[in-house]
Structure formats: C-alpha cells, structure tokens
Structure 1
Amino acid sequence: MTSNIAVNADRIATDIDALAAITEPDKPWTRRAFTPMFLRGRDYAEKIFREAGLKTRIDAAGNLIGRRKGKVEGKGTLMLGSHTDTVPNGGRFDGIAGVIAALEVARALRDAGIELEHDLEIVDFLAEEVSIFGVSCIGSRGMTGVRPQEWLERTADTEDGNVDLAEGIRKVGGDPADAGGRTDIKAFLELHIEQGTVLEREKVDIGIVGAITGISRYEILIEGRADHAGTTPMNARYDALSAASLVVLGIERIARELAVGPSYFAGTVGEFSMEPNAANVIPSHVRMLIDARAVEPAVMESFVAQLSELCAETATERHVTIAEPRRVSNAAPTPMSEMMTDLLASSATRIGATSRPMVSGAGHDAAFLSKVAPAAMIFIASKDGRSHAAEEWSENDAITLGAAVLYEALLELDKK
C-alpha cells in the first residue's frame, strides 16, 4: 500500500472487527435489517459517527446519517456511504467496508483540519440486502423518492409479531409517511467489496464502476405427463424434468456465449421445483426462475429471443408444453456518472493506486442515488471472489487504499 495517504488503517480495522462481533452467535456474520441484532449494530455505528464529530439522525426512510456542516451555506451535500445490514451467514465486509471507509474519510478531514465548502453526509442505508419483507434497497429508494407505496403494506414475522414494512421503518426511527425525494445531494460515492475475482486475479487495486447491471427475472413452466416410472417405456414418456434439464443447459450455453462479447452478461437458473416429486412417478411439471443480468438492453433482448427459441425447440423435441418465458421482474441497468468515474481514476493515480473500469453485476444503493445526483462506485478486491458467505474476506490494506481514493475524490468534488 502506498504511504502518501491521509486515512488511518488501524481505525478502519478496529471498526470493521467491532461490527463483525455484533452477530447472531450461530450465524456469523448476520445482522439482518429490522432485527434486534441490526439495531445493536446501528447503535455502534451511531456511536462512532458521533465520536468522529458528526451530527447524527435517522431520516424518514430509516437511514442513519452523520452530518458534517460545510462552510458555505446552501451549497449542497456531498454524500458517502453504504449499508451495515447483512444477508444471513455472510456479511463481514459487504456494505460494512463502505460505511467504515466513508466514516474514516470524515475522521481524516477532522484530523487534517480541513473544512469543506459543501456539507458532508456519511450514510448507513437501511436494508440494502433483501430484507425480511422480501425487498431490498429500502433506505436508498426511500431517500430518493422511488420506494413503491405498496411496499409499505408488505408484512413479515418479527419478535413483535407480524408487522408491515411501514411499522418496521417506524421501529428503526423513520417516518413511512414521508415520501422522500431529496434535492440537495450534489454527488454520491460508494465503496464496496468487488464480490468477484477480477481485481484479485489481475492484481489491480481499485475497480471503478461505470455501470450497475440491470436485472430481469423470467419464469418458465414446463408441462409433461405423470406416468408410472416402472411401467412406462422409455420411448413413450413426456418427462417434464428431462426437458427442463435441456433448457437449463441451454440457458448456460447462451449465457456463456453472451458473456464472451464486449458487454457484461450473466444468466442463472437459481430457483427450481418439480411435481409430483415422487421417486416412482415421471415428473409432470417443472417451474424454474432465471436471473438474467446485462448492462446493454440489446444484450438482454438477444438473451430473451434465444431463450424463447430454446423453449420452443425443446418442447417440440421432448413432446412437452413449455410456456413462453414470462418476465416477473425487471430493474433497468444504471450508468454511473462519467464525470465521477473520471474523477475516481485521477484520484487513484494521484495516490499511486492502479485502477480499471468495471461493471457491477450486483445491485447497490448507488443505483438509486444516481437518480438524484452524479454517482459512482469504488470496488476493492475480495479474496477468491467470495461474498454472501461466511468466508467473505477483504484485506484491510485494500479497504484502506479504497478509503484513500474516496478521500482524494471528495476533496476534488468539493472544489467542483
């Protein structure tokens, strides 16, 4: 790691370790949003925000915000942050590294006696991960005014019984009646672990995210015929599972071919069920759900066209019925600000860090902040690409170097 940096590696390590210790004891590292363990983590985050000289509050969307007032009234807010909630069994660095790196930037400014012209806010966004209510990025959607109103009626079982999301937001200190939609944010930056192998494999310090992938999910239903597994000849079967296996392998083939092109693509059959699911009965029904991710709409359109053709060909070959793939959800791809990505690249160069452009294959709060302000992301390396698993790990030197790039970029943004 280069030596000409203003942030403090020891403070970053101490805070990440302290948050990691706040976990469900039998499920490291688990602090799911809206649970008592999450609120314990929030209490710690608020404490260290205050110790850094930040004025804290919970906004209407349920986000924890630490504010450092700028010297020019009304010039607007520069924002850094990520999230401290986790998936079950796998959140030691995912989100947490970004919150602590952002906090360390604020501490480094204090230590250097630097007063920004803009206000600075460090944010721990509520429920970036899929929450107990079945939806994600609740805090960033709420802050930017794009949280669907009907989400507030979604329910989940909690220690206080079955409650809706509106009540969940109130319990963390927010106000679900406030529709959000801030207009004072001038720029947003988020540091995050890569959750992949590119930076580690290429031995590059910093990934500069130019786009966050779009995510579409498609349901495929395959109808065959249930018959006796022992008495039905092999050449007289209408096996929905055998047909489904060809579809799954075809999806993998299409996805691999599209991923070789110049634009990002990934496709996964992540949800699968069959009926009647009995050892002595030929499967009559299969349902699968495909997760498809692309940055370029044309690439997604190509995937869907090839998927439809695959289903039609398989239905004919296997004498089953396969419904046209049905899109059940869609999140559009989000380009980051070119001005911001250029600034991150020059900031990395100034401190002697190597960098490369990247695409994020996962969703992040930055996608929603980009709807109201120029936004970009920094990736730092993940060991073996592991994430959403207990083995998730990023070296503290890598996080510290990312925080140093954040610091340099923030100083440049303040001048703009």
Structure 2
Amino acid sequence: MPVNADRLWRRIEALSRITDPDRPWTRRSFSPRFLEGRRWLEAEFRASGLETSIDAGGNLLGRLPGIVPDLKPIVIGSHSDTVPSGGRYDGILGVLAGLEVAQGLVERGVGLRHSLEVYDFLAEEPSEFGLSCIGSRALAGALSPEMLELKRPDGMSLRDGLRFVGGRPEELSSARRQPGDIAAYVELHIEQGRVLESEGAAIGIVTDIVGIRRERITITGRADHAGATPMALRADALVGAARLIEEVHARALRLSGGEKPLVATIGNINVTPNAANAVPGEVEMILEVRSGDEGVFSTFGDEVVSGLRSHLADLRLSVRSELISHVPPTPCAQAIRGAIGKAAADLRLSFRDLPSGAGHDGMFVARTGPIGMIFVPCLDGRSHAPEESIEPSQAADGARVLAETVRHLDMVVE
C-alpha cells in the first residue's frame, strides 16, 4: 500500500499554517482558529472520498465502508488541536496520515474487509476547561455530566463549547462506542522524546501509554506585611511550597530508573496574595505524575505530602491535597504491536519497542477495543514547543508503516 509522500507533506504544511499568526504554531481547541482548521480538514476528508460527519462528542469522522459490513471497523485517529505555541506535527501527523491511507485505497479501488474510520478527536490537548482528551472521552462514554459543566475563564461551559464546535451534548450517547465495538485502533505520532533519534531507529512500537495522575496541593499559612513581620514569626506558604517542590523532584529522581520510570512535575502555581510586599498566605499547586507502574504513581503525591506534613507544621503551615484526575496506564495490544513490527520489517525500516511518556487519545479508545501506536523520531525530542520538527521522509515512513499495519490487520482481525 504505497502512500503519496508529497501530498501528505503538503497537507501537513497547509494545516500547520492555520495558526494564530503571533503565536506559531497555535490552534487551540474551541477557538475560531480551531474551527478554521476543522473546516479545511473536513473538506480534505470529503474530497478524498470519505463519508464525513461531526459526532455528538465534537469529533470529526471520515469513513470508508468495508466489503463485509458486519465486521467491526478499523480506526485510525489523532487530533488537530495544539498547545499554545506548539504542535506543528503533534497530532496532525496521525490524522493526515490516516487520511492518506484512506485516500490511497480509494484511488486504487481497493476495498478493505473492514470499514476504515479516520478520527480527528476533539481537544486531545489540555483545554481551557481544564480537561484533555474530550473527544475520545466521549467515544468511550467517559465524558460525565459534571465535566460538561466545567467552565473556561470567559464563563463558557464545556456543554456550550461542544455546541460551538458542532457537537451535540444532549446526544452524547450516540457518539459512544461500547467495549468490543472497534476491531483495532492505530495511531501514528511523533515520539516527543529522544530515544528513536539517539538510537537511529526509524520506527517506535509503543508498548504502553503511561498513566497520568493530577492532584491539587494547597499549602496554607498566613498573609502578613513583608516589612513588619519578623522572619521567625512568619507562616510563609511559599517557603513550604518550595520545600514540597524540592521533595517532589528528589523523590521522582529516585524513581526515574527501571523498566517503568516515573516523572513528576509541578508546572502550575498560584500564590496569594501575590504581592511584593506581602508574605504569601496560600500557595496552590498542581502536581502531575506519570508512570507505567500504577502502584508507584498512584501513591506518589500522598507519600510526598504525608512525609512533609510535620515539617510544614513546624513552619506554621497546613497542607491538603485533592485528586483532579487519574488515568491508569494503558497497554498496547500485542497483536497490533506485532502487525506494526511486521510492517516495519517488510518495509526494511529499523524499529524498537518503547513506552509512551505522553498521554494520547488511545488511553480512552482502549475502552472500546485493542489499540496500538506507531512513533517516528522528532528533532532533539522537542515537542509542545515552536522548535518541534520532523523530516518529510520521517512522516512518509510512518505513513507507510501505518498503511501496511492496516492492511495486515484487515486480514487477521475480526
């Protein structure tokens, strides 16, 4: 199943150029710029011969009917939204490679036994509603009524946000796939790390997607005048926060080795009253922990907080934590991993197994059927940054492996 590498690259460049001009490469979900990209993408789907629709969860779906109508579909998917100032290839490579596979079948008049579905999932990246993977959550039936009431800073609810992008929040059940409804899901993505590039491997076969846990940790002291309050009498919440951040870093370092390494990040901090002449009275932080080891990463935050509680009390501080979200590690199906390996070998491309340290829509799609992921290298492992970069040949290699994987799965799965 050859792919048109030039056409694939032209499309990648065209979609990436639909960006906020002052912040390349930015196309945030639920924004006018995102809808502009969606309109372009939907037109490309339709012109390529796919049956096109927006489902109730706000996902763009292109469908190519199969020869055997009762078989479950093979699904290719990824996302077209970006983080701020990043994402020129993150997400869109997988969507456009899926489109290229489908269009190649149409152009050659080749029919698969299974229907082929290509998804552009809504809002895989963290949205302004504080939620990621919104479209794939809808597909898996994991978009709850409470989530629909989440609000972004301008007051819009996620319920209204779905309507803004063409979804139908009152009909979410129509977008849901039950367990076993999908024959196989395959996603092509840039690695967002340095393993493939450093080892000179062309293709990564993802073994599992790490679990991601986010907790809100709040340290409370007392706000006082910065000039009139002696050091020995202060209850400085930011001092306690600094101690906690240091402990998160040290503990994560100790757990970062081994087959399933752990990483932990505090990337969001709010200080109150946040004034140069006031002792900080409260600090709110978000701790994110990722690992393929459920037992280790699910207790990380509690262990940090409990280990520091008495020390913080000595500083006249209290600490509390609350769970924001928890997505367990997601293994990739051995049958799909085998199909990817066979495809890479047949194409004489070097490959290796590796875990995904980033989250993907596959974490939720896995609730509906077996999943697999294909990685290609990216320059210096950079992603979620303006410097994110891949070569046209790397995009083409990934698309070729994707096409051959789909062809093999069509013959062996039911």
Task: Tell me the TM-score normalised to structure 2 length.
Answer: 0.91
- Specify the alignment match of 2:257 in structure 1: 260
- d(CA) in 1 for partners of 2:158, 2:232: 53
Question: Are 1:367 and 2:360 counterparts?
Answer: no
The aligned counterpart of 1:169 is 162
Q: 1:91 aligns with which of 76, 87, 93?
A: 87
Once the two structures are overlaid, the 10-residue window that deviates more, 347-356 or 165-174, is 165-174
Shift of 1:77: 0.8
- Aligned equivalents of 2:362, 2:57: Cα separation in 1: 16
Residues 252-302 of structure 1: CA deviation (Å, up to 9, x unaligned): 010011011321211011122333434344434333221111221221245
Is 1:149 aligned with 2:145? Answer: yes
SS at match of 2:255: helix
Q: Quick one: distance in 1 between partners of 2:169 and 2:399? A: 33
Q: How many residues align?
A: 408
Q: Residue 380 and residue 237 in structure 1: after superposition, are their counterparts in 2 closer, same or farther (change >3 A)?
A: same
1:331 aligns with 2:327: yes
Q: CA deviation at 1:175?
A: 2.3
| Aligned residues of 2:217 and 2:322 also touching (Cα < 8 A) | yes
- Contact 1:220–1:322, Cα closer than 8 Å, also in 2: no
Give, in whole Å, the separation in 1 of the partners of 2:119 and 2:41.
Answer: 10
What displacement does 1:227 show? 5.2
Asked whether the 8 Å contact 1:247–1:314 carries over to 2, the reply is no
Matched, 1:405 2:383: no
Note the 1:18-33 alignment, pairs <5 A: 18-33=14-29
Contact residue 240 and residue 317 of structure 2 kept, 8 A: no
- Quote the Cα distance in structure 2 between the aligned partners of 1:243 and 1:34: 37
Distance 1:149 1:320, change over 3 A: same
Aligned to 1:116: 112
* Separation of aligned partners in 2, 1:187 and 1:37: 31
- State the SS of the aligned residue for 1:259: coil
**What displacement does 1:405 show?**
0.9
Distance change (3 Å), C-alpha of 1:151 and 1:273: closer
Asked if the contact 1:307–1:325 (Cα under 8 Å) also holds between the matched residues in 2, the reply is: no
What is the aligned counterpart of 2:9 among 13, 17, 23?
13
Q: Aligned residue for 2:74?
A: 78
Is the 1:222–1:320 contact (alpha carbons within 8 Å) kept by the matching residues of 2? Answer: no
* Alpha-carbon distance, 1:143 to partner: 2.0
Whole-Å separation in 2 of the counterparts to 1:368 and 1:208: 19
Task: Write the deviation string for residues 222-272 of structure 1: whole angstroms up to 9, x where unpaired.
Answer: 334555555665555544333322221111010011011321211011122
For the residues of structure 2 that align with 1:233 and 1:139, how far apart are their CA atoms? 53
CA distance in 1, matches of 2:131, 2:230: 46
Match of 1:39 among 15, 35, 40: 35
Give the 3 Å change call, closer, same or farther, for CA 284–68 of structure 1 in structure 2: closer
Q: CA shift at 1:402, angstroms?
A: 0.9
- Quick check: 2:182–2:369 contact (8 Å CA) kept in 1? yes
Does structure 1 retain, via aligned residues, the 8 Å contact 2:378–2:388? yes
3-state DSSP of counterpart to 1:377: strand
**1:61–1:169 CA contact under 8 A, matched in 2:** yes
Corresponding residue for residue 182 of structure 1: 177
Q: Deviations over 1:79-125 (max 9, x none)?
A: 11211112222121111011111111112323444211111111111
Structure 1 residues 204 and 237, CA gap change in structure 2 (3 angstroms): same
1:100 aligns with 2:96: yes
1:237 to 1:212, Cα distance in 2 relative to 1, 3 A:
same
Q: Decide whether aligned partners of structure 1 residues 285 and 67 sit closer, same or farther in structure 2, where only a CA change above 3 A counts.
A: closer
Taking every aligned residue pair, what percent have the same amino acid on both sides? 44
CA contact (8 A) 2:216 2:285 kept: yes
- The CA deviation at 1:32 is 1.9
**CA gap 1:238/1:41 in 2 versus in 1, 3 angstroms:** closer
Letter in 2 for 1:279: A
Say which SS state the counterpart of residue 183 (structure 2) adopts: strand
8 A contact 1:208–1:345 mirrored in 2:
yes
Question: How far, CA to CA, are the matches of 1:228 and 1:120 in structure 2?
Answer: 65
Query: 2:110 aligns to what SS in structure 1?
Result: coil
The residue identity in structure 1 corresponding to 2:130 is G
| Residue identity in the other structure for 1:211 | D
Deviation, 1:157, is: 7.1
Q: CA offsets per residue over residues 287-319 of structure 1, 9 Å max, x none?
A: 322111122122124524541343135326x53
Instruction: For 2:298 and 2:123, locate their aligned partners in 1 and report how far apart those are by CA, in whole Å.
Output: 31
Once residues 224 and 163 of structure 1 are traced to their aligned partners in structure 2, the CA distance between those partners, rounded to angstroms, is 33
Q: What's the counterpart of residue 294 of structure 1?
A: 291
Which amino acid is the alignment partner of residue 387 of structure 1?
S
- Matched residue, 1:136: 132
Find the partner of 2:337 among 335, 341, 355: 341
